[in-house]
């Protein structure tokens, strides 16, 4: 019998990587629930769109009727909940959208999952015992670290700094409460900064690549010394699937790349790779790094994130396969070779394309 995985946010950066991996590397059926907001891009799923084991539902996770129908029709063996508003700058400008999706949306999904799971306990007890609800979160819920502080772990107290991270912290707490109060079999992962192919161009690495190619400024907040722990998206996906398959019910796993880099280091590294792979520059430009501009820092900007991934390494044997140099080179090369993916985003035509997606 084919098992079904319900993925929320499967047209997003990390979600689409999960969908592709599950369909290409297993016999599972994947049901992708996505609202297709600005960063949800069906083009990220072109490789699997015609797979008979793939089904797309155009719906909002905050819609109880739509979520109930998804559970009743497809009867998933597991849920991977990735749908979220995720950009800090946007959360500062419009926090209400983050509360609606990340908090209320998670609440609705938990309630419909609980309703479905309770039915399984009566009708199909073994399926109820095997069911898992995996909530994917961020290291930003922990706030920031001083330069000398040890890295975040599963026991680090929460101290979110932005509307985005506060909304994700709230959703984490809801998931754990539904496990403690109702017994819903849940798992939580908190990951560090992801990068890789198909990331929406507002994020630091793709923004740097595409601005540099166009000869536009490369903006860096403040002095650029903010530190992030970078994780290649395919390594993150392997971790998520290991946790779903073998993680202990009710547990949290921190997932990180053990790769701390200052933002300015990251931008300069992208520029150096572009010097090699894209030497033909816009007219009048000397070196790509000449485009770097330091701009006013954003409010509440965290200084440093870092993840101690010892628990997932010890319990599940996971560790990153890509180091930053290899992962970044793969990422830059992908953007150079896949203009057809990102050009519609830059010129706005992909918004029209999304409206025509069959559901």
Give the active site residues: 139-140, 164
Contact present, 261 and 305 (Cβ < 8 Å): no
Residues composing the chain: 359
**Backbone phi, psi, residue 6, to 5°:** -95, 120
CA angle 199, 173, 152 (to 5 degrees): 60
Rounded to whole angstroms, the Cα distance separating 35 from 96 reads 16
72 CB contacts (<8 Å, ≥6 apart)? 116
Rounded to whole angstroms, the Cα distance separating 281 from 215 reads 7
Contact present, 227 and 304 (Cβ < 8 Å): yes
Coil vs helix vs strand at 66? helix
Contact present, 252 and 246 (Cβ < 8 Å): no
């Amino acid at each position: 019998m084919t098992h079904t995985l319900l993925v929320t946010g499967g047209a997003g950066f990390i979600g689409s990587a999960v969908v592709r991996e599950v369909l290409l590397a297993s016999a599972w059926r994947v049901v992708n629930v996505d609202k297709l907001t600005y960063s949800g891009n069906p083009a990220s799923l072109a490789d699997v769109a015609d797979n008979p084991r793939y089904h797309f539902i155009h719906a909002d996770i905050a819609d109880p009727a739509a979520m109930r129908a998804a559970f009743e029709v497809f009867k998933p063996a597991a849920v991977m909940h990735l749908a979220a508003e995720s950009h800090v700058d946007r959360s500062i400008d419009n926090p209400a959208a983050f509360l609606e999706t990340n908090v209320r949306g998670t609440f609705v999904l938990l309630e419909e999952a609980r309703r479905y799971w309770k039915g399984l306990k009566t009708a199909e007890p073994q399926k109820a015992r095997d069911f898992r609800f995996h909530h994917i979160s961020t290291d930003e819920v922990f706030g920031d670290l001083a330069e000398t502080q040890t890295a975040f772990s599963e026991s680090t107290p929460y101290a979110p700094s932005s509307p985005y991270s506060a909304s994700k912290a709230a959703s984490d707490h809801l998931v754990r409460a539904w496990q403690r109060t109702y017994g819903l079999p849940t798992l939580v992962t908190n990951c560090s900064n992801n990068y890789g192919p198909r990331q929406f161009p507002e994020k630091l690495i793709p923004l740097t690549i595409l601005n540099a190619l166009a000869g536009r400024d490369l903006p860096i907040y403040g002095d650029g010394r903010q530190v992030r722990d970078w994780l290649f998206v395919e390594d993150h996906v392997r971790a998520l699937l290991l946790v779903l398959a073998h993680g202990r019910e009710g547990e949290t796993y921190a997932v990180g790349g053990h790769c701390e880099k200052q933002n300015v280091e990251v931008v300069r590294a992208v520029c150096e790779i572009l010097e090699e792979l894209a030497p033909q520059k816009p007219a009048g430009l000397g070196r790509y790094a000449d485009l770097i501009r330091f701009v006013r820092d954003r409010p509440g900007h965290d200084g440093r994130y870092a993840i101690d991934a010892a628990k997932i390494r010890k319990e599940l044997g996971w560790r990153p396969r890509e180091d930053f140099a290899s992962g970044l080179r793969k990422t830059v090369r992908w953007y150079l070779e896949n203009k057809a993916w990102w050009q519609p985003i830059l010129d706005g035509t992909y918004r029209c394309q999304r409206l025509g997606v069959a559901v």
